[in-house]
Structure 1
Amino acid sequence: MVDAVRSGPTMAVVARMAGVSVPTVSKVVNGREGVATATRDRVTAALKQVGYLREPSTPADQRGSGRLVDVVMHGLRSTYASNVLGGIEAAAREIGLDVVVAASDAELGSRESPAGGWLDHLIDRGTGGVLLVLVETTSAQHEWLTHFGIPCVIVDPITTPPPGVPTVAASNEKGAYDVTRHLLDLGHERIAHIGGSPPKLCSKARLSGYRTALNEAGIELRSDYVLDGNFHEPEAITAMHQLLDLPEPPTAVFAASDLMAVGACRAIRARGLEVGRDISVAGFDDVDEARVTYPALTTVRQPLIDMGRVGLDLLARRMRGEEITGHTELPTELVIRESTVRRH
């Protein structure tokens, strides 16, 4: 890795300004972990002040050939990932692009951020564009991409993206509204929500859709009916047990993901209750697990293949020089199965 620009301030200069070590500056530049938030902010401010940007080893006339695209994803082992990748690969074949796929650090159990040094790799091999799928990046990393003229598109952004970066996602709020409305139409009024991770945009949107449906039905939102499962099945199992322990447990549960809904079903069965007959359960995503669990899970189908396809198409257009900004929201679909039953 080259740590200095060919003309301009070096990492050592930035380190002195921020009062940190050179390795700490390198971690911030490359998005690595192990840097306190306050320190990261101080280093980022110094980087902006001096206009620091590392010069890649690949000459400018050999970068961005227009055929190579880097896809950085939050894990590669899930049904979510395989479906999004399917859309990306189909679009790449049609457009004539080559794709390099890498998993974020989250594949190894860390937070949803690209692996350390990813900018070095993609810039040095002449990447023409970057598609980020369900990963979180820093403003310094986006500024670096902009400096080197490498366009970026985000699919399923975790947090609010930088201005001017196009994003693609499912209609999370509308999907959550539709499934909550379905439970209301079945006669349920005590409807709980096992949410994802509160800071994530999709979690906020799904909670908002749930809340809106209840408000329209004249049902007050109960704080004890809203728990976080952080998109993990074990935490959803714990949340469901907490709901069942309430003096007045819910008659229906909407989980913000299918995996959490499966966890809720396991907790219900562990109490000797029957999903559907005793408590209705609905999820979100329509991954394979929703179809093979018993009873089959009512859920909200995300257009995952289309999300990958549209994301790559937008990136290809940006690589051709088109001015593409804003957010593209793709419609979801309510899929009704046996896990939701009319309230007796």
Structure 2
Amino acid sequence: MVEAVRSGPTMAVVARMAGVSVPTVSKVVNGRGGVAAATRDRVAEALRQVGYLREPSTPFDQRGSGRLVDVVMHGLRSSYAANVLGGIEAAARETGLDVVVAASEAEQSHRESPAGGWLDHLIDRGTGGVLLVLVETTSAQHEWLTHFGIPCVVVDPITSPPDGVPTVAASNEKGGYDATRHLLELGHTRIAHLGGSAPKLCARSRLAGYRSALADAGMDVPAGYQPDGNFQEARAQAEMDRLLALPEPPTAVFAASDLMAIGVCRAIRAHGLQVGRDISVVGFDDVEEARVTVPALTTVRQPLVDMGRTGLDLLARSMRGEEVTGHVELRTELVVRESTAAPRQRPVKSTTVVRGGTSIDRRSGTS
């Protein structure tokens, strides 16, 4: 019997057995491209021989076989992550699964490291299934999981996964529509949208909802009213500064995340204006920060806990041998708080000038 070895030593052993380099073994283990089919098969066979790769999963049952699930998330410190993990944890208890949680951020900074990928650790543990949350994956990685019979479900996909991979997300386009429609119904006609990272599915869908609501109201989007905040608070604040410098600044802003909405509010206050009274702001997510900021943030509530629970439930079904495919879309809800109100009769335009440490506020317009 060949004794199983771990991480670096296993890579070296497999490389010698297959007659390839350690980086080539890493590419195979992490599902990356750039390896010929014959070489990939030779490496895979060597991996199996040393016990680094197990055979395809057998369906798990409540008596203990195949009960381990890997959850890979983009960061673990945010309110978003805490809510999704809450749903995953609850579903894991109900289905009798054990969960290992890992952040994908370290993998991004060690993408070319021979033993740095999340697939390395996943296979090392003999995982029965994978739940990916807000993690960008490649076709090669999905092909690798399929080849070794490891079920996978994607929650809040960044890009479209291959056909057949189950996904769970919120109704992002409807949420964007509802947020914009709320501002229109309040009487706003100059509504900007601070978008997330353009390539991300959720960002594109929220933008589509914003544009659709304006189109249904017979309105065009003014030039410069759709900056990209890349889901970052500081960048959102900077983009809001630019919006306020326009000849006709918006009277309302729909931000594609609560974090960006908080940055927008900070910029508004820095210009001597009041959130809600001078400029209305709507966010997206309804994380804890949205409820405690002043004024409390009107936002689109994502069912984050239910997204985590649904993703784990789908994965458990797949691990049992059930056929699970398609996309599950969970309903969003507009939550109206104090950051939105009807526009003032003549919107105030404010410019804050700092001279010698003294802030001078110049305003035009009437109350």
**Which bracket does the TM-score occupy, shorter chain normalised?**
0.7 to 0.9
Paired with 1:136 and 1:10, the residues of 2 have a C-alpha distance of 30
Offset from partner CA, 1:272-299 (integer Å, 9 cap, x none)? 0001111000100000110111110000
Report the counterpart of residue 85 of structure 1 in structure 2.
85
Report the counterpart of residue 209 of structure 1 in structure 2.
209
Unaligned runs of 5+ in 1: 13-21, 33-39
Q: Structure 1 residues 332, 220: closer, same or farther in 2, change over 3 A?
A: same
Sequence identity (%): 70
SS at match of 1:318: helix
- CA shift, 1:223, in A, is 3.5
- CA shift, 1:140, in A, is 1.6
Deviates more, 1:116-125 or 1:227-236: 116-125
Q: Structure 1 residues 310, 171: closer, same or farther in 2, change over 3 A?
A: same
Report the counterpart of residue 135 of structure 1 in structure 2.
135
Q: 1:137 is matched by which residue type in structure 2? A: T
Report the counterpart of residue 275 of structure 2 in structure 1.
275
2:298–2:340 Cα contact (<8 Å) kept: yes
Paired with 2:19 and 2:201, the residues of 1 have a C-alpha distance of 34
2:56–2:150 Cα contact (<8 Å) kept: no
Q: 2:24 is matched by which residue type in structure 1? A: V
RMSD: 2.6
Mapping of residues 230-309 of structure 1, within 5 Å: 230-309=230-309
2:277–2:341 Cα contact (<8 Å) kept: yes
Is 1:152 the counterpart of 2:159? The answer is: no
Report the counterpart of residue 16 of structure 1 in structure 2.
none
Report the counterpart of residue 337 of structure 1 in structure 2.
337
1:154–1:311 Cα contact (<8 Å) kept: yes
Unaligned runs of 5+ in 2: 1-6, 59-64, 345-367
Q: Could you state the TM-score of these two structures normalised by the residue count of structure 1?
A: 0.87
- CA shift, 1:180, in A, is 0.3
- CA shift, 1:10, in A, is 3.8
Q: Could you state the TM-score of these two structures normalised by the residue count of structure 2?
A: 0.81
Paired with 1:174 and 1:323, the residues of 2 have a C-alpha distance of 28
Deviates more, 1:204-213 or 1:138-147: 138-147
Is 1:66 the counterpart of 2:42? The answer is: no
Q: Structure 1 residues 117, 169: closer, same or farther in 2, change over 3 A?
A: same
Paired with 2:300 and 2:337, the residues of 1 have a C-alpha distance of 11
Report the counterpart of residue 188 of structure 2 in structure 1.
188
- CA shift, 1:66, in A, is 2.3
Is 1:25 the counterpart of 2:24? The answer is: yes
Q: Structure 1 residues 110, 233: closer, same or farther in 2, change over 3 A?
A: farther
2:193–2:227 Cα contact (<8 Å) kept: yes
Report the counterpart of residue 102 of structure 1 in structure 2.
102
Report the counterpart of residue 62 of structure 2 in structure 1.
none
Q: Structure 1 residues 110, 135: closer, same or farther in 2, change over 3 A?
A: farther
Q: Structure 1 residues 132, 322: closer, same or farther in 2, change over 3 A?
A: same
SS at match of 2:102: strand
SS at match of 2:268: helix
Q: Structure 1 residues 67, 299: closer, same or farther in 2, change over 3 A?
A: same
Paired with 1:296 and 1:52, the residues of 2 have a C-alpha distance of 59
Larger Rg: 2
Paired with 2:206 and 2:194, the residues of 1 have a C-alpha distance of 10
